[in-house]
Chain A
């Protein structure tokens, strides 16, 4: 899937459409540089899950847990991490095997530890259009291919 969002609001709406489709155990990775809109999309996903509390950047805290929605959401951000060994220490495996949804910003440091089946979303700025973002998604595994089709249909 490859779409263009014209505004942060539209990015959030697309996130909300995805959030409504997510199921326990799902893994969604968000890639893209600083300011690409990852946390913005995450905010939409949380809203789609029925989470009402504020979604802040987890860059400093690494993991923010949100339990107020239909399914627990583990919002992670590994911007500050360099070594995958450190991820084991913060209990990444427990989160991946849990009943919640793992939503991961800056997943690059964690790739070695992640299951192959997941939804990968990449955001990037569009040249000369300040508020626009290109949103690309790829899925691996039956569950995530179906999820991606449903999401594309809902966008």
Chain B
């Protein structure tokens, strides 16, 4: 079974061809990060205009790279939300047009489900039930995955997402946008324990996160520093900040895994590429004899291969979408995406 995936929810325009939901034949990602760097963030209108310009070339390149023609594609999978509405619309419109003119079934995919399914594109996919920590610029969710499409959110951020805290601290350290990877590298040169930042733990037993307080604490430390001192201290500050965020992510992930009795933990989303998070999570999982899987760094970022994978596994549950399929900016992960179409929100 060959699935053509389309992803355009935020920065990247991506098209991919995946066989049987597991094997990537082509995964073309056309990043807008350099364009956005000038603006210090994702600018929605630019995002949608660029998606328009880059989607068709990306689709052609993906088919060519996979060595298949559109006639051989069995299934189309497209991200319908959550994301920026204007950006999502471009991918959804393209997918509907292809589905209509080539008679290929179309399956809607939740972007977060896509991130989780990036783990099925590796050597050893996680076995159900497993716990997935989805950490990105917009999300910090602990998700119990009991079977295909069976998602239950156990914890989430109450204020800023982990990736957002990384980006805001990175920007304040002068690391530009997107700053997560640069902050990870800077922290690698820093000394642990020079600063002590802590993340809020919330009430006992809660699996929710809060990253707003630590962001404020870091900024408070940065404010009085002159440029020379900032330069000297920033690796240590980055290190302490990162360790503290990673610590709480690991702690709550392990607590959730124990509470739910799962044997496997998975990571997903952009922050899952963070080296400290991977390292600490591996140590903790080993201590508790839990299996740990995470996608390769490129599959942690937004990409269409993960959407194709999720679409392949979820199609038997969801069935084909009609041409009335709509993008939904605030689509919840637990929305079944079947029967009545997802609620439209602007």
In the complex the two chains form, is A86's CB within 8 Å of B84's CB? Answer: no
In the complex the two chains form, is B39's CB within 8 Å of A83's CB? Answer: yes
Q: Which residue of B lies closest to A89 (CB)?
A: B45
Segment with Cβ contacts to A, from B72-80, B157-165, B228-236 = B157-165
In the complex the two chains form, is A62's CB within 8 Å of B84's CB? Answer: yes
Quote the shortest CB–CB distance from B187 to chain A (angstroms). Answer: 19
Contact (A34, B161) CB under 8 Å given A86-B43, A90-B44:
no
Quote the shortest CB–CB distance from B153 to chain A (angstroms). Answer: 11
CB of B156 closer than 8 Å to a CB of A: yes
CB of B220 closer than 8 Å to a CB of A: yes
The interface residues of chain A, by DSSP majority, are classed as loop
In the complex the two chains form, is B156's CB within 8 Å of A86's CB? Answer: no
Instruction: Give every chain B residue within 8 A of A59 (Cβ-Cβ).
Output: 160, 164, 168
Number of contact residues on B: which range applies?
20 to 34
Q: How far is the CA of A105 from the CA of B332 in the complex (A)?
A: 23
Most chain B Cβ neighbours within 10 Å, of A35, A63, A88 = A35
In the complex the two chains form, is B216's CB within 8 Å of A34's CB? Answer: yes
Q: Could you say which of B44, B159, B220 contacts A62, with CB atoms under 8 Å apart?
A: B44
Q: How far is the CA of A68 from the CA of B168 in the complex (A)?
A: 30
Q: How far is the CA of A85 from the CA of B82 in the complex (A)?
A: 23
In the complex the two chains form, is B42's CB within 8 Å of A80's CB? Answer: yes
Our count of residue pairs bridging A and B at CB distance below 8 angstroms stands at: 84
Q: Could you say which of A40, A56, A57, A89 contacts B44, with CB atoms under 8 Å apart?
A: A89
Q: How far is the CA of A56 from the CA of B43 in the complex (A)?
A: 20
Contact (A130, B219) CB under 8 Å given A56-B157, A61-B329, A82-B39:
no
Instruction: Give every chain A residue within 8 A of B346 (Cβ-Cβ).
Output: 63, 65, 91, 94
Q: Mark A69-92, 1 if CB is under 8 A from B, else 0.
A: 000000000011111011011110
Q: How far is the CA of A61 from the CA of B88 in the complex (A)?
A: 13
In the complex the two chains form, is A82's CB within 8 Å of B330's CB? Answer: no
Contact (A80, B160) CB under 8 Å given A33-B219, A35-B215, A65-B330:
no
Q: How far is the CA of A79 from the CA of B157 in the complex (A)?
A: 19
In the complex the two chains form, is B345's CB within 8 Å of A35's CB? Answer: no
Instruction: Give every chain A residue within 8 A of B160 (Cβ-Cβ).
Output: 39, 56-57, 59
Quote the shortest CB–CB distance from B186 to chain A (angstroms). Answer: 18
Q: Could you say which of A54, A64, A81 contacts B158, with CB atoms under 8 Å apart?
A: A54
Q: How far is the CA of A125 from the CA of B219 in the complex (A)?
A: 11
CB of B46 closer than 8 Å to a CB of A: yes
Q: Which residue of A lies closest to B345 (CB)?
A: A65
B residues 41-67 with Cβ under 8 Å of A? 41-46, 48
CB of B342 closer than 8 Å to a CB of A: no
Q: Offer 9 A-B interface pairs, CB within 8 angstroms, sorted by A.
A: A57-B159, A59-B168, A62-B84, A80-B42, A81-B39, A82-B39, A82-B43, A90-B85, A91-B346
Report the 4 A-B pairs with minimum CB-CB distance, sorted nearest first: A80-B41, A35-B216, A89-B45, A60-B138
With A39-B159, A60-B161, A61-B82 already in contact, 20 other A-B pairs whose C-beta atoms are closer than 8 Å: A34-B215, A39-B160, A39-B212, A54-B156, A57-B160, A59-B160, A59-B164, A60-B163, A60-B164, A62-B44, A62-B84, A63-B329, A65-B330, A83-B39, A83-B43, A86-B45, A89-B44, A90-B44, A90-B86, A130-B220
